[in-house]
Chains A and B, each alone.
Chain A
Amino acid sequence: DGGITQSPKYLFRKEGQNVTLSCEQNLNHDAMYWYRQDPGQGLRLIYYSQIVNDFQKGDIAEGYSVSREKKESFPLTVTSAQKNPTAFYLCASNPTQGYTEAFFGQGTRLTVV
């Protein structure tokens, strides 16, 4: 089945450690996105990529990094510079052309202790 897979579903890390969240899609979509969700804040865009080896900062990129070495994969690293990393992270993808919506993974809940 085609879709977006985020792993792991739950992730615990100690403060000061970097952590990488995985996002893989087999929908052949060019564009991929990372969002952070906090209660009452909606979905805030961290990074997005429209093509392999290229990505742009979203609204809250500080303390995060991404790579897009393959079309199918768009991993997000939460660095120790991110002051409040505990949140729910959602990955999405869509084609860059045509009339279609974005598809979402099931999310990763990151807790930093």
Chain B
Amino acid sequence: AQSVTQPDIHITVSEGASLELRCNYSYGATPYLFWYVQSPGQGLQLLLKYFSGDTLVQGIKGFEAEFKRSQSSFNLRKPSVHWSDAAEYFCAVILVNSGGSNYKLTFGKGTLLTVNP
């Protein structure tokens, strides 16, 4: 079955430490890949996206992610975490059908990030 997996439910890091959030997907072809962030009680904000080309993509707020086809992964990284980064992070994919249409945006279960001072 097609799926998106975020293995870490909750991660705690100290402010200033580096961060890596994991995401694995299971699809027959390369999907469009996204990372979103959500503050409590709010909608989702896009951090970055990957469609094709350079496998290392830069996003907002100093985040980056690397697409690794061999590992079916799209891990999110940040070199130095700020207290304001505490939030829930979601990896997502959009399938593209043979006709080139996007459909069925699917999310992982999310990783809650806590930042210690």
Chain A residues with CB under 8 Å of B44's CB are 43, 90, 92, 104
The number of chain A residues with a CB under 8 A from chain B is 27
| Most interface-central of A40, A48, A102 (chain B CB within 10 A) | A102
| Most interface-central of B32, B34, B44, B103 (chain A CB within 10 A) | B44
Interface pair B102/A31, CB less than 8 Å apart: yes
> Residue B42 at the A interface, CB < 8 A?
yes
Interface pair B94/A90, CB less than 8 Å apart: no
Kindly report which residue of chain B lies nearest to residue A109, judged by CB atoms: B41
Chain A residues with CB under 8 Å of B108's CB are 42
Q: Which of B43, B46, B90, B107 contacts A107 (CB 8 A)?
A: B43
Chain B residues with CB under 8 Å of A102's CB are 34, 92, 94, 105
Interface pair A45/B104, CB less than 8 Å apart: yes
Kindly report which residue of chain A lies nearest to residue B103, judged by CB atoms: A50
Chain A residues with CB under 8 Å of B49's CB are 99, 101
Interface pair A50/B34, CB less than 8 Å apart: no
Which range holds the interface residue count of chain B?
20 to 34
Chain A residues with CB under 8 Å of B52's CB are 99
> Residue B109 at the A interface, CB < 8 A?
yes
Interface pair A97/B100, CB less than 8 Å apart: yes
> Residue A63 at the B interface, CB < 8 A?
no
A58 to B95 Cα, complex, angstroms? 14
> Residue A84 at the B interface, CB < 8 A?
no
A106 to B107 Cα, complex, angstroms? 17
A104-B43, A106-B43 known; A97-B101 Cβ under 8 A: yes
A-B pairs, 7 with minimum CB distance: A42-B109, A104-B43, A43-B107, A99-B51, A104-B44, A106-B43, A96-B101
